[in-house]
Each structure stands twice: as C-alpha cells, then as structure tokens.
Structure 1
Amino acid sequence: MPLTAKANMASELANPRPESLGRIGPLEVRLARNAKEVKKAQRLRYQVFYEEMSAVADAVTQATRRDADPFDAFCDHLLVIDHSSMKRNKLGRLKPEIVGTYRLLRQDVANSQGGFYTASEFDIQTLLDANPDKNFLELGRSCVLKPYRNKKTVELLWHGIWAYVLQHGIDVMIGCASIEGTNPDTIADQLSFLHHNARAPKDWRVRALSERYVEMNRQSTDEFKPKESLRALPPLVKGYLRLGAYIGDGAVVDHQFGTTDVLIIMPVSELNSRYVNYYGADASRYAS
C-alpha cells in the first residue's frame, strides 16, 4: 500500500468521521466512508456528466463508467443518500442509493498532494500567497440525480458543506462552476452578467491562466437583460451568488466536459448572513 494511502487510513482511524452531517426525512448527508462509496459517487458523476450532459469520455472512463481522476484518492466526498431507495450491490445486498455528491479538498491536504484542481484553470496561487493566514477549501464535481434536483437535496448538500467548514475551520471556499457549452459567444449574456454584477473585488480577484483566458466582458450592460441573464445561469451558479460568492476574472473552456468554467470565491466572513442563520451558526438546522 502506498505511504499516502497508509497515512490517510491511519488518520481516519485516529479521527473517525461523524456518522451524519444532517438529515431530512430519508435523505442523509455525510462523507463517504470507504472506496466503494467513492466509486458509487464516481458512477453518479459519470451518469450526470457523460450520459446526461456533454462530457466526452476517454477509453478508460467509458470502460469503467466512472468519472474519476487522481484527486479523488485524497479528497473527501460528500454524499446525499436516500435511505428510502435501496439498490442491490454486486453481492446482492441492498444498500441505500447515493443521489448527490460534492468533492471537498482542504488546503492542508492539497499542499501535501501537489495543489488544487482549480489551479489547472485559474491562477489561484496569487490568492493563496496573499492570504497565508486563511484556510482554503476547494469545492468541485458537484452533481445530483435528476429526480432529486430540488430544494431539499440542495439544502442538505449545503448543510453538509457548512458543517464541514465549521469542523475544519475553513476561511475561504473556492472552486470552478460550469456553464454548459464551449462557445463563449452563445453564453455571452451569462458571462457578461457575471462580469458586471459579481466580479470579485481587487483583494479577492483571481485571473484565469493566460493560455486559457476567455474574456467574460462580452456585452455592455445595455446589450443584455439582467433578469433574463440571471435566469439563464445554472442553478449551482445562482446558488453560489445567493450565498454571496464572487466571480474571478476570465472564464476557461473545458472541452472534455463541454462547459465554460468560472471561478467561484466565497470568503466565509462575507457569506450572506441570512443563509448562515438559516443553516445555523453551529450547522444545527438539519443535524440528526
């Protein structure tokens, strides 16, 4: 077994994970407990990203029917589980279905493993260097099965993230959020809306890597209708904005996933107080 895997296993044994981060009826949010659950999350990601959306699978991804990359091995995987929907595993045992997932990467783990996934698209190192006293968390690979894309599931995911933020003393959340499509001109109104209405202040501004930079300021405020542009944004991006997120400078086209990515920056101190109060300062709203 690799040294990193041994260290992770030793850490888990020394610091057992809480059984649950929240519950609403039969739906529960918690971290994946083992490699089998991570694989189920990867299969869910494949179903959403490759079968439902327009991601392009390589031979390995197509053969395994799992969306996987090297970061999965050392990230935490947040899961929403439906205890009322039981599925048989390969051994014929009934297990509750995983219906939503988020991938979480803490800065201390990223530092020991070569950095954040986001750094492949945005120059986040400048932000990390400017805030050496702050603890960062990367959010990514978010997806939910279509029948569960409702307020209840999304609230439970965010309750789990908020509980995780509090447990680990997180100061800033970052991550890539995707808008479907690889032609920036067809989503010019959405990109321009974000540029004019949600761009990060200078202290928090991060630029897309020069070789991947796509201009977001594609239309003036007179050329697009703000309400229609906001309505067209993906629910996840709108959710981030409601929480008080900032958007980085420039977008990045991700041809593998068939998307155009923007950078989300969420300092915990700047989060919308209404949402913090809603979930509870101690993440107690849906505590089980």
Structure 2
Amino acid sequence: MGRRTPVIDSAAFEIRLARDAADLVASQRLRYRVFVEELGGGGETVDHQNRLESDRLDSIYDHLLLVDPARAEGEHVVGAYRLLPSDRLERAGQFYCDSEYDLSPLVGTGRKLLELGRSCVDPDYRGGAAMLLLWNALADYVLAHDIEILFGVASFHGTDAEKLKAPLSWLHHHHLAPAHMRPRARPEAFQPMDLVPEAALDRRAALAEMPNLIKAYLRLGGFVGEGAFIDYPFNTTDVLLLMDTKAMSDKHRSFYTRRFEGRA
C-alpha cells in the first residue's frame, strides 16, 4: 500500500509563523524526517538522539509553517519554510547560503532580499496543495516586508554530478541570473553545470529529472547562480535560485494564481 495523500481543505489547516518553542521544535523534527531519515543527510546540524535538524540560525529566522491541528503536539507541523529578510542580516551575521555561494553580487544590488531555506513537506501531505498553501502565505510575507528578491538553495538528491548532467546543463544554458547579480558557488565544492552542450540537450528529459520545487521557481521567472555546490554531509547537489519579484511578469503571476486557486 502506498502513502495516503490527504485532501487538504485550507480551512482545516493553519498557515502561520512559528510562535513558540514548541512550533520551532516541531519544525526541526519535520526537517529531520525529511532531510535525514528520507534523504540521508547528516553533519553537525543533526541531533539523532532527539530526532532534530537545527542550527544556530534557527532562533533568528522566521519559520513559516503549515500546521495540521489534527496531529499530535510535536508532530503538528507538516510543512515549513525558513525565512530571513536582509534587514536582519547584521543580527544573523550571515545568510545560510553564504557558506555555499559568494553572495556579494546579490547583496551589492542594495535591494531588499529574502533568503528561503529548509523547505520541506511531510511525505503524507505531498501531491496536493500543501506547497501551494505555503507559497500563498509566502507571497503575503513578501508583500508585508517589501521584498524585492527571493533567493535560496534548492537541492538535487545525491552528489554524483554525472547523473545530474542534463538538468544542471539545462539550468546553466537557459536560466543563469543576470551577471551583475549572479552569485557563484564557493570554490571548495564548486561543480560546473555546463556539462552537456546546449545543442545536445533534450528539454523534456532534462526537466523530467529536475525537482518539482526548482521547476516551480523557473515557471515563475526564476534564475540560478553560477555553478552548483556539492553538499556532501547533506547528500545533495545544490543550486542557488533567485527570483526578482519586481520583474515577475503578469504571465508568471497569473500562472501562480491559477495553480493556487485550482488546488486549494
């Protein structure tokens, strides 16, 4: 028997920022289930004894949560995003992505930034409207904080770039961010993405191998930074995604709206 995908009635779920320690711990427990138990991640952010994935930045970030009130306390968070607006950067000391990408071109734009990270949905809630409900709340957050550019790393499972050469090459040839704002992967784990000549790429095959989250950002007009970053502790190959909210076309906005209204 496969997992049951609940029919998500938006009226029966809460979408809000974490408001206390219990919410934060439940979010960290969800991250452990997804990033460690499901995807095989590890490293210093993992607490196996308490089944938590956390780091020192958690107390500074906002945590956008999809909550199922019907679930037991501690397991009530079924979707999460971690958010850091750039006006909180001095307090944090760095963006999480700073450890993987040189963000100076992006920060140098002087525009209001929002870093997105640790995006995850409980396996039992995938395939429905969970991610779209989170995105709808994220849109409200962006408007409330006057955000101009969203960015964050998104991951391919595994660290063998040869197996990912088609989607990585497609991103490099078709979705590089403008040069003046383009972050570049840190040299210690830099992985070139131009692994297949553009003329040799099969669009359908490349997109079929791409995670749904990355494809969703691309549909909204997203870009990627230069190079991928191999995150061996987390068993992922990361790309940096950027989205300029001011440049998002009416076509992309209407696509997002239709997708949400059609699924909620």
Give the alignment's TM-score, normalised by structure 1: 0.82
1:36 aligns with 2:11: no
1:180 aligns with 2:157: yes
Partners of 2:45 and 2:103 lie apart in 1 by: 31
Once the two structures are superposed, the pairs formed by residues 166-245 of structure 1 within 5 Å of their partners are 166-245=143-222
Partners of 1:119 and 1:257 lie apart in 2 by: 16
2:96 to 117, 131, 147: 117
2:51 aligns to what? 65
Change (3 A) 1:26 1:249: same
Tell me the SS of whatever aligns to 1:87: coil
| Aligned sequence identity (%) | 37
2:253 to 247, 269, 276: 276
> Between Structure 1 and Structure 2, how many residues are aligned?
252
Partners of 2:44 and 2:97 lie apart in 1 by: 21
Cα shift at 1:277 = 4.3
CA RMSD of aligned residues (A): 2.1
Structure 1 residue runs without a partner (length 5+): 1-22, 90-95
1:107 to 66, 70, 86: 86
Change (3 A) 1:141 1:166: same
Give the alignment's TM-score, normalised by structure 2: 0.89
Tell me the SS of whatever aligns to 1:269: coil
Deviations 1:213-271 (A, max 9, x none): 11000011233311111111011111111111101100000011100000111111122
1:266 aligns to what? 243
Change (3 A) 1:63 1:272: farther
Cα shift at 1:57 = 5.1
| Maintained 8 Å contact 2:45/2:55 | no
Cα shift at 1:72 = 0.4
The structure number with the bigger radius of gyration is 1
2:115 to 119, 128, 138: 138
1:87 aligns with 2:64: no
Tell me the SS of whatever aligns to 2:192: coil
Cα shift at 1:63 = 1.2
| Maintained 8 Å contact 1:159/1:279 | no
Cα shift at 1:86 = 2.6
Question: Following superposition, which runs of at least 4 residues in structure 1 exceed 4 angstroms of deviation?
Answer: 57-60, 277-280
